Structures are given as C-alpha cells and as structure tokens.
A and B are shown apart, each in its own frame.
Chain A
C-alpha cells in the first residue's frame, strides 16, 4: 500500500478508533510519521467531533463503585474507566474528546483528561482562586470546558456567585478561566442574576469561541465569550419562549447552537443557522407517538445532523431522523442507580492532547 498517496492513507487512519489508530501507526515509519503529524491530529479530531456519543455514569450502590459507559450509534456500547487519574472523580463537562472532572474527596481539585489516550492534566491551584467562596457550598455553579480544535488549546471555566463571610451571596458573579496555553487562571467579576437547573449546568455548548448555557425557566441563553471575557444573553426563538409548558434543552448541532423542545406529543429541533444575527430555524418536528409512555422522563443529550440521542431513567435511545426510527441503544440492568439522564454528557472520542 505504499503506492497510495499520503492523503489517502491519512483518510484511512482517520477512520480508525483511537486504540486501533495507536496500534496501526506502528506498522511502518511512513504511517507513524503521518499519524503523528499536526495536520492529521486535527483531521482526526474534526472527523470524530462529527460522531458524538452519549457518556453516562452507572453507579452501583452495592459495590459503591461507578463506571462510565459510552453509547455510540455505530460501535454500540463500551465501558471505560478514569482510574488513570488515581482519584475518585465526577465528570463536570465534556468537549471535543476532553473531560473536565472534579475530585470527589478534594473539593476544588479539577482535572482535564482525554479518556481515550489516558493523558490528563491536574489543573493548578491558584492563589487567585477563592475556591471556598463560591455560593452556596464552595463549588462553582457553572463548569465549562472549551476545546478549540483549530488552535489546539483548551479553557476551563468555573463560575458562580460570590459568598461573603456571612454566607450570603452578594450579587457578584465570579468567573475563573484557565488557559492551557499559559497554564494559568485569570479572573473577572460581573453582576448577574441567573438561575440554572441541573440539566442547564450539564449541557454547556462550545461554539463560535464561546461557552453557552441555557438559563432556568428558559428565558435566554447565557454566553461567555472567552477572548473578550464578556457575558451576553442570546434570545430563544419566539415560539419557544412563548410556548408554555414545554421542556427545552440546549445542545450542539454540527458546530451550531441547537434547542430541543419537548412537549407531550412533539419534539422540535431548532438550530441557530446565523450566529451573527442570532437567527433560529426549526429544522425538524418529531412525533413522539411511538415512545409516548417514555415522554415525561426523556431528555435529549446529543445529536448529529441525522440522529438524536436521548436518555431516560434507565435507557439511552437514538432517533434516526431520515428513517423516523427509534432504537434503544442501551439499558441499565440493575435497579440501584441514579437516572442515566442525570449524569449524561455528549462525548466524542478524539486524540486532543491535554498535557
């Protein structure tokens, strides 16, 4: 196969799962060189980012142990472990193949890791970081991870209300940003009055150089521009704001902001096709007739242009838009577990470096 153009070899290697890739690149010097090239890493990551999966945590109370399950449309279900961190952690954010995890025993200790390559970075402590001053319990309200595939760097954001010595919030909103290029934290303060539900906190989206969170009671999306350190509000489509009683979730769709609205009988998918002008388009309206019984407990987690992944208490489902077929991809066997949607994150398997 040495007579193939390098570009073809790169395209073939880019379609291998991470472990396969690492083994395969040792076939000969040419393949090793090609697979280690910066251009290839970016090609691989961009291709992988188009194949999002669902990551859920299964907690086995009998063994007091939790494990991570990854559900993929093409490759099915696989399990992986974050044991290489040598700490008990909780996944707080996921972006382009990296995970940001907080230590369970050590409050304020955060890691950024790539579970596929097992690289990780313990984020530095900083005297700037008033960890114990977040309201209400010392933990940041918002945790965001922004992995920039083109600039090959990442940012971690910890944001929350400031707690005074009297344990009351004083209205100031502290935002700490870690930059992998400088390996330092920086801080800025603003005044905000936003509220976030559990799902709002879990579903943070990084597009167009900004991190986005949907706010509680679905009033607007809060966006943090990482370069300019500015918070701004993005409005929801009118039909979503004024459609009372629907549940709304923020997801990504091929590099764009997307909202999924769930009512009794319908799931509507919106995408912000024009970010500059904040214009939304409804791209699909899906009847929920055939999963009627599951609707109250179903939460959308991630999507491609063709599939939507959702989680319920015990299952991960996928909906294929073109064929209009629903499929169960995974279900939990034992009963002692938190609902899957509680810990579900969008995830894709990349070779994004993090040390």
Chain B
C-alpha cells in the first residue's frame, strides 16, 4: 500500500459497533480529532469513535489512505527542472526587444482610439473577416505540455466515484467527516450534497430527497412563492 517514511506507528480505532480497525498514524491523523488525541498523548490502547459505524469508518479510512498516498506520490523534486527551463528562456527573451516595441506601438494606438464605439466596431469588423486562419490555430493549441495535471484529475475522478453513493451512505459520510474533522472529505461530501440539490427540479423534490417536511403555514408558503416568482 503506502511507502510511508514515518515511524510506522499504528493506531487502533473502535467503531460504534465495536469493530477495531488498525490504521497507520500518518493516515489516521488526517482526522483533526484523532490528531488532537495523539498530540495530547491519549492514544494509548483503543480510540473509541462512538458515532461512526464500521461500514462508514472503513470508507473513511480508505479516503484517508488515498490522500496520504497521493501526497507522497506527488511530492518530488520535479519543480527544479521546470524552473531551470524558465530561467534559460527568460534570458533568451531579453534579446527580443525590437519586435516587441513595434507590437506595443500598434496596440497603444488601437487602445487610445477615442472615437465612438461604432467606429471601433467598423475597425474590428474588417479585421474579423480574416477568420479562416484562426480556426486552425484554435484546433492546434489545446495540448498539454506536461502530464502533471493527470494525477490531479485522477484524484478528482476517484473522489467523485467515492461520493457517488446512496443518500444514507452520503449522510453517514457527512456526519463522520464532520465528527472526525476531515476537511478534504467534508468539503467533497458537502459539494456532492449541493450538487444533488442543484439537480432537483423543484423545492418539493428537494424536500422529498432529503426527507424534510415543510413547516410553513399555507399563507407563509404563498408569500414565499411570490418572493421567488421571478426565478425561472
């Protein structure tokens, strides 16, 4: 699994239903709650997590492990090479003054055109008819220079799959992430719940999805409906 370089200390976490999970400290301290317990020196024996069921705890541990692995895999010295490349290109660029000055002059004169907007529009229209060449350029430029982004994308995809679960599991994750204070998980689940709400087509659908009863009186309902009637 992970090639952690810490002391390899293992913590014992106990779920609500009395199951014990052995977890590496580096993974477990993604939870601020557990981190505080460890820092206070109270991590002797078993740490009881009274409100988290084993099913949820298992998933939470998987999340924490994935994030520890991701940080380790991406923590390399690859930045140094990039910086060297920039530095050499900057030196090259310093010798290019001639053409830059011309460009600047052209742009300054265009921007300082105090004529009316219609005049400007006419100027741009004539330029705009040179469309042919642009299309080619657009097709060519969308390429990746480095593959650094794909790791981040991979993590994002993993996270999206992770939170794509039924509502009850989602709530359990939300409560656990809040109780254990795991920012990354809390943030992602909150975003997922917001996305679920966005997909609901009506206020009633939101209520049904989350099992909430409206406690407005019919008069209040009417007032509110008017208040939001401008929204399409």
Tell me the A residues contacting B by CB distance below 8 Å: 1-2, 4-5, 8, 11-13, 15-17, 19-20, 22-24, 26-29, 32, 59, 61, 118, 136, 197-199, 244-247, 263-266, 285, 287, 289-294, 296, 313-315, 320, 322-328, 331, 335-339, 342
- When distances are taken between beta carbons in the complex, the residues of chain A under 8 Å from B100 are 244-246, 263-264
B97 at interface by CB-CB < 8 Å:
yes
Give the chain A neighbours of B121 by CB distance below 8 A.
59, 61, 336-338
The stretch from B19-27, B33-41, B61-69, B107-115 touching chain A is B107-115
B198 to A323, Cβ gap below 8 A? no
* CB–CB A28/B141 < 8 A: no
Q: A59-B121, A323-B149 are in contact. Are A28 and B198 (CB under 8 A)?
A: no
Of the candidates A26, A313, A322, A335, the one whose C-beta lies within 8 Å of that of B149 is A322
Contacts of A118 in B (CB 8 A): 230
Complex: chain B residue closest to A218, CB-CB: B104
Number of A-B contacts (CB under 8 A): 173
Q: What chain A residues lie within 8 Å of B171 (beta carbons)?
A: 1, 4
Q: How far is the CB of B142 from chain A (nearest CB, A)?
A: 6
Could you show 10 A-B contacts with beta carbons less than 8 Å apart? A1-B210, A1-B211, A5-B178, A20-B198, A24-B206, A26-B225, A198-B111, A245-B101, A290-B140, A336-B121
Chain A neighbourhood of B86, CB < 8 A: 285
A322 to B211, CA, bound (A): 41
Q: Report B-chain residues with C-beta under 8 Å of the C-beta of A198.
A: 111-112
In the complex, A27 Cα to B197 Cα: how many Å? 11
* A291 & B137 in contact (Cβ 8 Å cutoff): yes
| A263 partner, pick from B93, B133, B186, beta carbons under 8 A | B93
> B residues within 8 A CB of A324?
144-146, 148-149
Q: Complex Cα distance A16/B109, Å?
A: 44
The answer to whether A338 touches B124, judged by C-beta atoms less than 8 angstroms apart, is yes
Q: What is the bound-complex CA distance between A325 and B186, given in angstroms?
A: 28
Query: Is there an interface contact between A293 and B101, defined as CB atoms closer than 8 Å?
Result: no
| Chain A residues, Cβ within 8 Å of B71 | none
- Interface check B81, CB cutoff 8 A: no
Contact of B44 with A by CB under 8 A = no
Question: Could you list 7 further interchain pairs (A-B, Cβ under 8 angstroms) beyond the known A19-B231, A326-B142?
Answer: A244-B97, A245-B97, A265-B89, A290-B140, A292-B137, A293-B137, A337-B124
B202 nearest CB neighbor, chain A only = A23
Give chain A residues whose Cβ lies under 8 Å from the Cβ of B104: 244-247
Q: Are A290 and B145 in contact (CB under 8 A)?
A: yes
Chain B residues with a Cβ closer than 8 Å to the other chain, count: 71
Of the listed stretches B1-9, B52-60, B187-195, chain A binds: B187-195
**How far is A27 from B228 in the complex, measured between Cα atoms in Å?**
12
Residue of B nearest to A20 (CB): B198
Contact between A28 and B214, CB atoms less than 8 A apart: yes
From B96, B99, B197, B207, residue with most partner A Cβ within 10 Å: B197
When the two chains form the complex, which single residue of A5, A26, A285, A290 contacts B224, counting CB atoms closer than 8 Å? Answer: A26
> Contact: B120 with A296, CB < 8 Å?
no
* Cross-interface CB contact of A28 among B103, B117, B212, cutoff 8 Å: B212
The answer to the question of B76 belonging to the interface, with a C-beta cut-off of 8 Å to chain A, is no
Partner of A15, one of B112, B178, B191: B191
Is B215's beta carbon under 8 Å from chain A? Answer: yes
Chain A residue with Cβ nearest B195? A15
**Distance, CA A292 to CA B136, complexed state (A):** 12
In angstroms, Cα B144 to Cα A289, docked, is: 11
**CB atoms of A8 and B190 under 8 A apart:** yes
Q: Which of B120, B138, B228 contacts A315 (CB 8 A)?
A: B138
In the complex where A26-B203, A287-B89 touch, is A313 in contact with B127 (Cβ < 8 A)? yes
